[in-house]
Amino acid sequence: MRTTEAPDEIAVGRTCRATFAVDASVVDQFAQLSGDRNPIHVDAAEARQFGFAKPVAHGALLMTWLSKMIGMDVPGPGALWLDQSVEWVRPVFVGDVIELTLTVDQVSPATGVLRLSTRATNQEGKIVMQGAARVKRSEKLAPSRAARAGSLVALVTGGSRGIGAAIARRLAADGMTVAVAYRASAQQAHALVEEIQGRGGTAKAFAADLADPRSAGDLARDVIKTCGRLDVLVHGATPPLQAVKLPDLAYRHLEPYLSTYVGGALALMAEAVPGMIERRFGRFIVLGTAAMLGVPPPHWAAYLVAKHALWGLVRSMAAELGPSGITSNMVSPGMTATDLTATIPLRAKEVEALRNPMRRLATPDDTAELVAFLASPAAGYLNGANLPLTGGA
Amino acid sequence: MTLRTAAHPDQLARVIAAVFGIPADTVTEESRPETIPQWDSMSHINLVLALEDEFGVSFSAEDMVEMLSVRLIRLILAERGVTA
Amino acid sequence: MDRSDQPHSTVTELLSAARQIEAGAVPHLRVVKVGVLSTVTVETLRPSLVVEGAARGLWIRPYFAPFNQLEQQVFDARSPLHACEPDVVILAMRLEEIAPRMACRFLALADEEVQRELAAIEERLTSLVARLRRTTQAAILVCNYASPTCWPAGLADASREESLTHAVHLANQAVARCCRQVPGAYVLDYARIVAEVGLQRWSDPKLWYLGRIPFGAEAQRALGRWLARYLRAVCVSPCKCLVLDLDNTLWGGGLGEEGLGGIALGEDYPGNVYKAFQRRLLALRDEGVLLAAASKNDEREVRDVLARHPDAVLKAEHFAVMEIGWHDKATSLRRIAQQLRLGVEALAVFDDSAVERAWIRSQLPEVTVIEVPEDPLGFIQALEDSGAFDRLALSPEDLTRAAAYQQDQQRQRVQAQSESVEEFLSGLEMRATIGCLSQETLPRVAQLVAKTNQFNLTSRRHSAQAIQAMVDAGAVALWLRLADRFGDNGLVGVAIALPDGGPWRWRIDTFLLSCRVIGRGAETALLGVLLRRLRARGAREVLGDYVPTGTNRLAATFYGRHGFADVDGTGRSWSRSLGAEDLPLTAAIAIEASDELVGARTPDGP
């Protein structure tokens, strides 16, 4: 059987042809299925008695093949067969080879209804059936134009180490192409890329300084050029944490954080959003911190100011970009054992762990799992949220 | 008074086992009040006093509150010069 | 001697030992149920208490009420405290909790306010103790107050007339007063225990702030030890006599080898150590403990030392008995006990020789063998720590006991010289005083009821509280005091009778006489006065029981000899009707009835 490829749009004049062989076994099966054991269909001797040279196939067999073509090809899945007129012009005998043709005569975009003419001819080219059909085509309620995760491209900033690296691994394991952005840790970034590729994933490392808007913009453009698109942006890059007591805090202390978190996000967003709007799919996921929730630890004001600013950006993006199918969210993990917390004494970490309801600190994988969900097509309704990943503390 | 002493890895476990009345081989680094039913607020105090007595050290109130697991106890002892 | 040198168990050993004792693994312990009410957390004392109790032969089963539940437990008859039916209740209150302003803001209070606070805590205590007395038969131990740690006026505090120290002292006097007024209530000298350990070493701040526990590890051990001593004193009578070795105990060196001039006893070291010990022993005698000597020595030489050595504090007359000779110590002890008419379990031994101590332990396990250290500098402390003479109340008899025994020896000498019993008795010039039970006489009466074995008709061991309860319910309880020309024997007889089904019939529940005065007719005098008293209360028939115990055969014929009839032929049940006839008297004893009985005197009375 031959089928023609059906593109998404159906135009008037489109045809669909298929050929079916009328075997005795097919007729037998139909007789079984329908219960119609009229001897003319199944018994050669009887058929002759009624004046037919050979057993005659059920006319309804042609209808079943028509059902297949309408339901699978034109218009295809979602089709609803509204009505059909049919004239069986000549008998179809066991042993015949029938060619069925559908032609789209009329398309009504408003109602989604197609008018089709249906015709069947046998191996001698003689018409055995002709008729007309009306078929309604329905669309899925939510247009899931997004391709499967396997074809998505994700950019992970701060992706060479710690939580970022865990996220990169996890997204790659889900089948995404992962762009790993690093500022200075080239060796770690390339080692990570090799590791991912060694596991069968797709990844590439890109250098950029996210505090510099030009560098950030270049990064996004490079990724789009190299990977073809940019669907998921995970922004976790951070300057090292520095404790500054409040009376001593000045604006200049805030700058590295603000420019990396907020400035970096803005520059990347500017480049990535147009493509996302076109494809009606996008994911912005930024890293916050559990320190934003509840009483903040002392001396971290600069860091917190910038994370809160970033949160404000996330909420605005969620509201403005949501209609285009782009979700924006923040993930705020609790204390995680990474370079960032390396200077915190082991005892303090252990106490924090044991005071946690889950009796442990967060691991980078905990955050990676949540980010992977947010990045997936399945999380299409989760928008504008700051999700605490704290173990309940 | 016992002199400050280097603890064998299982000396701590033995003291803990003796305080709670459980077999020493059931005490692991992860052991904590949730995993040992005999470890309640009263026996916690006995544990602190037993550790002070056994290792010849003196704990602060904060130490006492932060002794949430065997691993933490070992860390806190290490800060007092008792190596395990 | 630094006590920390003594071997002590580690905390883990203590906890393990306590676990075993509480699981019942240690045999032959006497169960004591204790209820503890406190204003702070005391649960942590449990292991020390249990272990120290076991070391003293007790299986202490404590119930610790949740902290600050005093009135709730005492005033609710169905509280857990009452439900556990304690033998002893301990009340532990601290000034810091019950009078916080006085304890911590003393200088902010005017003198009248201080007085008011003191009155308030006294009233609270009185109410708790009185209520406890009504709802339980338990002995009540009331902790007094240690000085709070804050020093209101710093260095100037002690010079002030109205200082916190003075207020605490007044508060403690009130505690003692309250206990004296209630039978079976005694002070637990918490202040002294804290002083012994030291106020600074007492608490561990982290335990207070994290657990409301005011005692550190060392304090908990000390409290365990002391509480166990108090609890033992509730259950077990103290030893009555301390038997002392002489050589290297009362003086340094052996008398036989060194001679009078060579033994160490004097104002210089090491003689002064022994002299101090002798002084301490003399003070022990003042407390009512009899001293005896058991030594392998020449008797004449010993008497010589005691009489002539210029630094001998103890003299021959201070010893109730002296067994100087060549018997083995166990035999000496038996002879001493016999002479003093005591059981061997009433003896304690202080002997510097470990070999002798081991011998005595093996031969006479009931004797309390005091653990004596090598260094005589530790003798006094060892004596204190032994707890052999611990008792909760001192009676007047205790204070005169030693002298009384001395007098007894004089009587015995006279008896030996008399030609007949009648001559001896009339020569004694005996005077008996008989009176009704009162607050002052109750402790001694209870003591006699607890310990008299030989002339005791029923051997019912009522506690002080129980006796008081019987009297409150209408019993007649009489005591007899006997004096003669040699001295006063003190209170030596007790009789208690209860109505039996109606005012016309009474039963004698308790009738006893100290064995010291048996055979002089005092029992007849006591019975006579008792029967008169009962007759005045409406009795027409009096019943008496004889309960044989193995040691009281002496009393089997008593009722029979005084006009009682054997009801069923068993000799256990006696009865006598009381008409208007004469009641027994003794010629040789002049009877004086105390004031309350005056009204009951009949024409044929004295």
CATH of the domain at C585: 3.40.630.30
Task: Render pLDDT for C466-478 as a digit per residue (tens, 0 to 9).
Answer: 999 999 999 999 9
Shared domain for C144 and C163, answered yes or no, is yes
Rounded Cα–Cα distance for residues A76 and A68 (Å): 9
pLDDT bracket for residue A201 (50, 70, 90): very high
Task: Render pLDDT for B1-22 as a digit per residue (tens, 0 to 9).
Answer: 444 444 455 889 999 999 999 9
> Residue C107 to residues C93, C163, C199: CA-CA distances in angstroms?
22, 9, 21
- Tokens matching residue C402: 């030693």
Q: Which residue does chain A place closest to B77, by CA atoms?
A: A347
Beta carbons of B21 and C12 less than 8 Å apart: no
Min Cα separation A344/chain B (Å):
14
pLDDT for res A243:
87
Mean pLDDT for C364-373 is 95
| A120 backbone dihedrals φ, ψ, rounded to 5° | -130, 135
Whether pLDDT at A141 is above 70: no
Whether pLDDT at C603 is above 60: no
| pTM, full prediction | 0.67
The most confident of A58-62, C295-299, C348-352, by mean pLDDT: C348-352
Q: Which chain A residues are within 8 Å of B75, Cβ to Cβ?
A: 346-347, 350
Helix, strand, coil distribution of chain A in percent, nearest 5: 40, 25, 35
Whether pLDDT at C383 is above 90: yes
For residue C373, cis peptide bond before it (omega within 30 degrees of 0): no
pLDDT bracket for residue A259 (50, 70, 90): very high
C422 occurs within a structural domain: no
Rounded Cα–Cα distance for residues C53 and B73 (Å): 32
Shared domain for C449 and C464, answered yes or no, is yes
C604 occurs within a structural domain: no
Selected for mutation to probe chain B from A344, A351, A361 (highest B CB count within 10 Å) is A351
CA C207 to chain centre: 36
Q: Domain ends where: C235, C260, C291?
A: C235
The mean-pLDDT minimum among B80-84, C203-207, C230-234 falls in B80-84
Shared domain for C252 and C229, answered yes or no, is no
C393 occurs within a structural domain: no
C47 occurs within a structural domain: yes
Chains C and A touch (3+ CB pairs under 8 A): no
DSSP calls for B8-50: PHHHHHHHHHHHHT--GGG--TT--TTT-TT--HHHHHHHHHH
- The DSSP element (H or E) to which C425 belongs, if any, is helix C421-428
Mean pLDDT for A12-32 is 91
**Alpha helices of C27-138 — where are they, by DSSP H?**
46-55, 71-75, 80-83, 95-98, 100-104, 111-135
Residue C211 touches partner B, C-beta closer than 8 Å: yes
The three-point CA angle C366-C372-C378 to 5° equals 145
Mean pLDDT for C9-37 is 93
pLDDT for res A336:
85
Query: What whole-number percentage of chain C has pLDDT above 70?
Result: 95
Beta carbons of B79 and A347 less than 8 Å apart: yes
- The DSSP element (H or E) to which C504 belongs, if any, is none
Residue with tokens 């005071």: A355
Mean pLDDT for C334-343 is 91
Whether pLDDT at C429 is above 90: no
Query: Which residues span the domain enclosing C348?
Result: 241-386
- Tokens matching residue C161: 């007339």
Q: Which chain A residues are within 8 Å of B71, Cβ to Cβ?
A: 350
Q: Which chain A residues are within 8 Å of B34, Cβ to Cβ?
A: 359
Shared domain for C231 and C247, answered yes or no, is no
Report how many domains make up chain C: 3
Task: Render pLDDT for C137-158 as a digit per residue (tens, 0 to 9).
Answer: 999 999 999 988 878 888 888 8
Shared domain for C212 and C246, answered yes or no, is no
Chains in contact with B, where contact requires at least 3 CB pairs less than 8 Å apart? A, C
Rounded Cα–Cα distance for residues A10 and A79 (Å): 12
pLDDT bracket for residue A2 (50, 70, 90): very low
Residue C210 touches partner B, C-beta closer than 8 Å: yes
- Cβ A189 vs Cβ A160: under 8 Å: yes
Shared domain for C264 and C170, answered yes or no, is no
Min Cα separation A233/chain B (Å):
38
Residue C66 touches partner B, C-beta closer than 8 Å: no
Is the dihedral angle over the CA atoms B68, B73, B74, B78 positive or is it negative?
positive
Chains in contact with C, where contact requires at least 3 CB pairs less than 8 Å apart? B
User: Going by C-beta distance under 8 Å and a sequence separation of 6 or more, which residues neighbour residue C474?
Assistant: C498, C499
C403 occurs within a structural domain: no
More confident residue, C186 or A142: C186
Mean pLDDT for C514-529 is 87
| B51 backbone dihedrals φ, ψ, rounded to 5° | -65, -40
pLDDT bracket for residue C244 (50, 70, 90): very high
Shared domain for C204 and C301, answered yes or no, is no
C417 occurs within a structural domain: no
Average pLDDT of chain C?
A: 89
Residues of A annotated as catalytic (active site), given as ranges: 303
Shared domain for C181 and C221, answered yes or no, is yes
Give the Cβ contact number of residue C82 at 10 Å.
Answer: 18
Task: Report the phi/psi class of residue A162: left, alpha or beta, with left for phi > 0 and alpha for psi in -120 to 50.
Answer: left
CATH of the domain at C365: 3.40.50.1000
More confident residue, A143 or A220: A220
Mean pLDDT for C566-577 is 90
C606 occurs within a structural domain: no
Rounded Cα–Cα distance for residues A3 and A24 (Å): 24
Please name every residue paired with C38 in a beta bridge, in sequence order, or none if there are none. Answer: C92
pLDDT for res C465:
92
Q: Which chain B residues are within 8 Å of A354, Cβ to Cβ?
A: 32, 68-69, 72
Beta carbons of B72 and A347 less than 8 Å apart: yes
Whether pLDDT at C596 is above 60: no
pLDDT for res C594:
66
Beta carbons of A359 and B32 less than 8 Å apart: yes
* Cα end-to-end span (Å), chain A: 62
- Cβ A192 vs Cβ A172: under 8 Å: no
Q: Domain ends where: C362, C386, C410?
A: C386
What is the pairing mode between strands C455-456 and C505-513? Answer: antiparallel
What is the pairing mode between strands C30-38 and C58-64? Answer: parallel
Min Cα separation B74/chain C (Å):
18
C544 occurs within a structural domain: yes
pLDDT for res A150:
57
Beta carbons of C11 and B1 less than 8 Å apart: no
> Residue C492 to residues A257, A380, C455, C516, C556: CA-CA distances in angstroms?
96, 101, 11, 8, 19
Residue A355 touches partner B, C-beta closer than 8 Å: yes
CATH of the domain at C41: 3.40.50.1110
CA C460 to chain centre: 18
Pick from B42, B45, B54: CB nearest C10: B54
Q: What domains can be seen in chain B, in order of their start residue?
A: 9-79 (1.10.1200.10)
Beta carbons of B68 and A347 less than 8 Å apart: no
Shared domain for C206 and C260, answered yes or no, is no
Min Cα separation C394/chain B (Å):
38
Shared domain for C274 and C365, answered yes or no, is yes
Pick from B21, B49, B65: CB nearest C11: B49
Rounded Cα–Cα distance for residues C109 and C153 (Å): 13
Whether pLDDT at C509 is above 50: yes
- Cβ C497 vs Cβ C458: under 8 Å: no
Residue A344 touches partner B, C-beta closer than 8 Å: no
Q: Domain ends where: C359, C386, C413?
A: C386
Cβ pairs bridging B and C (under 8 Å): 50
Shared domain for C194 and C271, answered yes or no, is no
Average pLDDT of chain A?
A: 90
pLDDT for res C8:
64
Min Cα separation B52/chain A (Å):
19
Q: What domains can be seen in chain A, in order of their start residue?
A: 15-137 (3.10.129.10), 149-389 (3.40.50.720)
User: Going by C-beta distance under 8 Å and a sequence separation of 6 or more, which residues neighbour residue C289?
Assistant: C238, C239, C240, C241, C242, C389, C401, C402
Q: Which chain C residues are within 8 Å of B54, Cβ to Cβ?
A: 10-12
The three-point CA angle C20-C22-C23 to 5° equals 65
Beta carbons of B68 and A351 less than 8 Å apart: yes
pLDDT for res A139:
64
Is residue C372 exposed (0-12), middle (13-18) or buried (19+ Cβ within 10 Å)?
Answer: buried
SS3 for C426-452 is: HHHCEEEEEEECCCCCHHHHHHHHHHC
- Tokens matching residue C326: 């060549």
Beta carbons of A354 and B32 less than 8 Å apart: yes
Q: Which chain B residues are within 8 Å of A356, Cβ to Cβ?
A: none
- Tokens matching residue C299: 């008797």
User: Going by C-beta distance under 8 Å and a sequence separation of 6 or more, which residues neighbour residue C476?
Assistant: C436, C495, C496, C497, C498, C506, C530, C533, C534, C537
Shared domain for C16 and C117, answered yes or no, is yes
Q: Which residue does chain B place closest to C48, by CA atoms?
A: B46
